[in-house]
Amino acid sequence: MTQKSQQLAATAWARLIRAQRTALEKVEQDLKEEDFPPLVWYDVLLELERAPEGMLRHRALNDEMLLPKHNLTRLIDRMEKQGLVCRKSCNIDKRGSFVCILEKGKKLRNKMWPVYEKAIERHFAGKFSSNELNMLADLLARL
């Protein structure tokens, strides 16, 4: 590890942290301005919608989202309270439970998407050529 490569590593690292934080903040801001809930909510809804029958084990959802489990419990609590998702008990494993997306949840996700998409374009993708986006995606995939 030379002095120089060490320097390079630190710079790239700082950029990564900073770039993501900045872009994410702006995107979240755009969503908030339209009175939409935060991005994690969108992520949950998306994962559920993609899953067969619109439902996933709490655990499986947890693995997709990068959240500590207790944290997800409460996120689902809130979303359930809003009527976006619901829990179903699991017959196979009585400890566990499923989380299912409801109509209202699907509708919300659909309304959020165009805003989200535009925000991604504006604050992130728009700043790169498609070549660069590909490169970036490939590089980041290693982490």
Partner DNA sequence: AAGTAATAGATGTAATTGCAACTAGTTTTT
Partner DNA sequence: AAAAACTAGTTGCAATTACATCTATTACTT
Minimum separation from the CB atom of position 4 to DNA (A): 33
For residue 26, CA distances in Å to 1, 45, 83 come to 36, 21, 27
Q: Shortest CA distance to 101 belongs to which of 63, 64, 51?
A: 51
Q: Return the ∠ at Cα 89 (arms to 57 and 48), rounded to 5°.
A: 35
Query: How many angstroms separate the CA atoms of 88 and 90, rounded?
Result: 6
- Each residue 30-49 as x (binds DNA by CB under 7 A) or -, in order, gives --x-------x---------
Minimum separation from the CB atom of position 33 to its own copies (A): 16
Which among its own copies, DNA, none contacts residue 70 (Cβ within 5 to 8 A by kind)?
DNA
Q: Please choose, out of 6-14, 94-102, 106-114, 135-143, the segment that lies near DNA by the rule CB under 7 A.
A: 94-102
Residues making contact with its own copies (CB under 8 A): 1, 5-6, 8-13, 15-25, 66, 117, 120-121, 123-125, 127-128, 130, 132-137, 139-143
Among the listed residues 6, 8, 12, 96, the single contact to DNA using CB under 7 A? 96
Which among DNA, its own copies, none contacts residue 135 (Cβ within 5 to 8 A by kind)?
its own copies
Sites of contact with DNA (CB under 7 A): 32, 40, 57-59, 62, 67-78, 87, 90, 92-97
